[in-house]
Structure 1
Amino acid sequence: MKTLFLQAPSFDGFDGGAGSRYQAKREIQSFWYPTWLAQPAALVENSRLIDAPPHKTGIGEVVEAAKDSDLVVLHTSTPSFASDVKTIEAMKAAKPHLKVGLVGAKVAVQPQESLEGSPLIDFVARNEFDFAIKEISEGRDFTAVDGISYRNKDGQIVHNQERPVLHDMDQLPFVTPVYKRDLDIKNYFIGYLKHPYISFYTGRGCKSRCTFCLWPQTVGGHRYRTRSVGHVIDEIRWAKAAFPEVKEFFFDDDTFTDDTQRAEEIARELGKLGVTWSCNAKANVPRETLKVMRDNGLRLLLVGYESGNQQILHNIKKGMLIDVAKRFSRDCAELGITIHGTFILGLPGETKETIQETIRFAKEVNPHTIQVSLAAPYPGTFLYDQALKNGWLDAENAELVDERGVQIAPLHYPELSHSEIFHSVEDFYRAFYFRAPKIAAICGEMARSPEMLKRRLREGVEFFRFLRERKEVA
């Protein structure tokens, strides 16, 4: 079947791609690669991938591409589901016999509800869906495809048996040739990464049990299943030749440093290739491992600190100690490793006092840049079930973004309201960035690099526009 893989048009500036941790409009426009769509696209011969948001692809162009296809596979999410259904309606109106399926965490945990959401959805692929989609694209009858839910000829919803989790990750082909074929890498931008960048996964799953984290609880699992070192390095070597303009490679694994020995092995091979690279990390990486990675091209670590309050970290099962995180941060600073720190406000146990404690903690560990998100109880997570049980979340009003795609504060507590949590994001950003040392560091960075001057000025305009839009939401 001629197959189209699609990240559909959505809110203006909405980063809903399958590489996005939080599907929302950012404080600074950001777009992650649609790696979870590129992976099955790499398995399906003569497929095509359209990532509409970063390419500003409109619904008309999407419909025309669908008319030239037999099968369309859309990645969807809880915030984008309603919009994605509208895209399906437009495609089916143009080509009624088109087969359309959905993938992603939303349909993995809510297959019945998702199919009931629109009679035009033919199937959803649950959990790890790469080879399920490959089998469907080959024309296999739905009844013979494990891991999917679908409507039979009588309109009844059927749930096939689960598909075994993939353990030999080297069975998956490279995704970067799909990037080369179908994507314009200049359209992918992350504020803390060099531009242009490329990201992909070297493994799936995460050993941590963070109650809020979507992917390990829905699709990836809690076992870190990895590609071999040689397989990863071969893709870097291929991508380096195919994209000579790329300035940085980012490993988007939930926690690349879960296996420190493997991380060091990959680092040493990357050092031989002379590439600059970054990755996700937990704030507990030993100094000796950090040094090996730094000596072999590591530039930046994306670190989920989440909170500066130890009890909140216990509440969310983060498995991180504040003192360890502080020591790790000092080690990175001394070794010259840049940190982009992420924080979440509104997690269980949050109060006005713990918010201030987290702000003080952020100033102390002093990442180069930060991202402050609102606690987002996605269906399928422990946090979602916990919030419903304790009355922190109204199930009838559990939206995660507003009508423009801006993240809202869906959780509330007896001592902390929606509004207070929402406004604390702006307070956090202002307290962290509007400090003399941080302003001096940013100005110095801009003075040393004309490219960085242009970039930071653009980001500044976007950031203040973001703050203004949040005031309108409030």
Structure 2
Amino acid sequence: MRVTFLNPPFIKNFSRPQRSPAVTKSGTLYYPMWLASAAGYTEAGGHAIDLIDAPAADFTEDAVIERIRDFGSSLVIVETSTPSIYNDVSFSEKLKTTLSREGQEVFIVLVGTHVSALPEESLRLNVSVDAIAQGEYDATVRELADALENRQEPGTVTGLWLRDGEKIIHTGERSPLSNVDQIPFVSSVYKRFLEPHHYFNPNALFPMVTITTSRGCPHHCFFCVYPQTMMGHRLRNRSVENVVDELEYIIAHFSDIKAIFFEDDTFPANKKRCIAICEEIIRRNIRISWTANARVDLDQETMRVMKKAGCRCLCVGFESGNQQLLDRMKKGITLEQSQTFMEAARKTGILIHGCFMVGLPGETRETMQETLDLAISLQPDAIQMYPVMVYPGTEAYAWYQQKGLITSKDFSQWLTPSGLHNTVIHGEELSAEELVRFCDEARKKFYLRPKYILYKFVQMLRHPGEIRRTLKSVRTFAKYLLFGSDVQKEPI
């Protein structure tokens, strides 16, 4: 069977696969990792695949439909997100209607965090959508392709939500894959279908390739969407050899790639395994820069090994400068750990991208200032600071909804007209306008400090490889930092 895996047309550079989908102020654009993984797994099951990333390639709706027509797809897997869900369903209707008129029938399946959290509601949006594949969908899609090719009922495949007349039926929950080594290298799918220069993350040298070495996250931060809607909290690791083999594949097949981004929720979640991967990289004499997500409980000993193996930068959620707020979001860290972590990072020479948020349960003007004070005192290489974004399926969404603090039931309002993040929550004491204004001013206070500007200038002089990344980030970000943005200043 011919299967198309589609990141559908929407706003150009809309980063649908990231944890908080939007057109980002930094120019960040994620690879369609989960689509590509499922595509590779489906192809390994004997099916022909195509992968289309329309926002990255700036494909029009008509161009995408033409490509699906020419490929002769019978099954189309459409990635969705909360802010784009209405667009994604509307395009699915256009795709099915257009191809049906020409005699080509396609079975359309929606996947992703939003439809996993709200499968029945999503399926009822439009009869052109045939099914929802809930949660981690690699095996579900492959088995569905098998069933359709053999003219079996889709209802025999677990992990689906299907329409049965006026009723919606669930075929049962599917357990996540336990052996993730059986998924082909996601980079091998990228190589065939994607252009690496389309993708950017300011925390990695450009151009870069994004992969994951595990699935699932053992931590329970109340806002984090992937563990709560798709991948679960059970950590499933690829073997050390499998991970490092993929690094060798990338170096051999992507001639101008400068870096790897390990997009695991927490790359060093298992210290022993993290060190083993690093030691294998060193043993094989692999020389490439890499970035990963980490937590502030990472110790200096492990950081030293990571640095020796090529780790250049870590993305870390400090989140708040108030301990009570950290505890309420179930972050599981302390402010003292944040300080110790940054001291260790400086000693090992690893750059830190710090993530901060405001509007948390119990937030006040005083706690927001504590968060800014923490960001400045830690002195990371870069920061992001936004009002908390809440998505269906997370504890955060349930809490804000129960408290009446979500300002719209229209998911398209999760974005501004140009596709930036929109603030759809307000605090118990703070308006959406105050949250946005604070974040805008906080970023200016952090980035426009003379000490910081001097630091970046010296960094580029000492490390010319940083120039391209820094300038690419500055070009995109400056217009928001210096001239404001179109983020909504009022609750909707």
Report the TM-score, using the length of structure 1 for normalisation.
Answer: 0.95
Aligned to 2:485: 470
Aligned to 1:118: 126
Quick one: which of 321, 345, 369 aligns to 1:308?
Answer: 321
Question: Contact (CA 8 Å) 1:101, 1:121: kept in 2 or not?
Answer: yes
Cα distance in 1, alignment partners of residues 366 and 109 from structure 2: 46
What is the alpha-carbon root mean square deviation over aligned residues?
1.7
C-alpha spacing 1:88/1:133, structure 2 compared with 1 (3 Å) = same
Quick one: which of 80, 83, 91 aligns to 2:95?
Answer: 91
Q: Following superposition of structure 1 onto structure 2, how do residues 31-430 of structure 1 map, counting pairs within 5 Å?
A: 31-45=29-43, 46-67=48-69, 68-96=72-100, 97-138=105-146, 139=148, 140-152=152-164, 154-271=165-282, 272=284, 273-394=286-407, 396=409, 399-430=413-444
Task: Report how far residue 395 of structure 1 moved.
Answer: 5.3
Question: Contact (CA 8 Å) 1:206, 1:254: kept in 2 or not?
Answer: yes
Identity %: 35
Question: Contact (CA 8 Å) 1:408, 1:422: kept in 2 or not?
Answer: no
Q: Please list every run of 5 or more consecutive structure 2 residues that lacks an aligned counterpart in the other structure.
A: none
Task: Report how far residue 266 of structure 1 moved.
Answer: 0.3
Task: Report how far residue 145 of structure 1 moved.
Answer: 0.4
Cα distance in 2, alignment partners of residues 442 and 275 from structure 1: 22
Question: Contact (CA 8 Å) 2:205, 2:466: kept in 1 or not?
Answer: no
User: SS where residue 47 of structure 1 aligns?
Assistant: strand
What amino acid sits opposite 1:38 in the alignment?
A
C-alpha spacing 1:174/1:455, structure 2 compared with 1 (3 Å) = closer
Task: Report how far residue 86 of structure 1 moved.
Answer: 2.2
Cα distance in 2, alignment partners of residues 382 and 472 from structure 1: 24
Question: Contact (CA 8 Å) 2:416, 2:487: kept in 1 or not?
Answer: no
Question: Contact (CA 8 Å) 1:374, 1:407: kept in 2 or not?
Answer: no
User: SS where residue 150 of structure 1 aligns?
Assistant: strand
Cα distance in 1, alignment partners of residues 263 and 464 from structure 2: 29
Structure 1 residue ranges (4+ consecutive) displaced by more than 6 angstroms after TM superposition: none
Task: Report how far residue 451 of structure 1 moved.
Answer: 6.5
Task: Report how far residue 13 of structure 1 moved.
Answer: 2.8
Aligned to 2:4: 4
Quick one: which of 434, 438, 445 aligns to 2:452?
Answer: 438
How many aligned residue pairs are there?
471
- Comparing 457-466 with 347-356, greater Cα deviation is found at 457-466
What amino acid sits opposite 1:36 in the alignment?
W
Task: Report how far residue 155 of structure 1 moved.
Answer: 4.7
Cα distance in 1, alignment partners of residues 62 and 375 from structure 2: 45
Cα distance in 1, alignment partners of residues 314 and 195 from structure 2: 25
Q: Following superposition of structure 1 onto structure 2, how do residues 7-26 of structure 1 map, counting pairs within 5 Å?
A: 7-16=7-16, 18=17, 20-26=18-24
- Comparing 392-401 with 276-285, greater Cα deviation is found at 392-401
Task: Report how far residue 295 of structure 1 moved.
Answer: 1.6
Task: Report how far residue 394 of structure 1 moved.
Answer: 3.8
Question: Contact (CA 8 Å) 1:342, 1:372: kept in 2 or not?
Answer: yes
1:335-390 per-residue CA deviation (whole Å, 9 max, x = no partner) reads 10111111112111211111111111011111101122321110100011111112
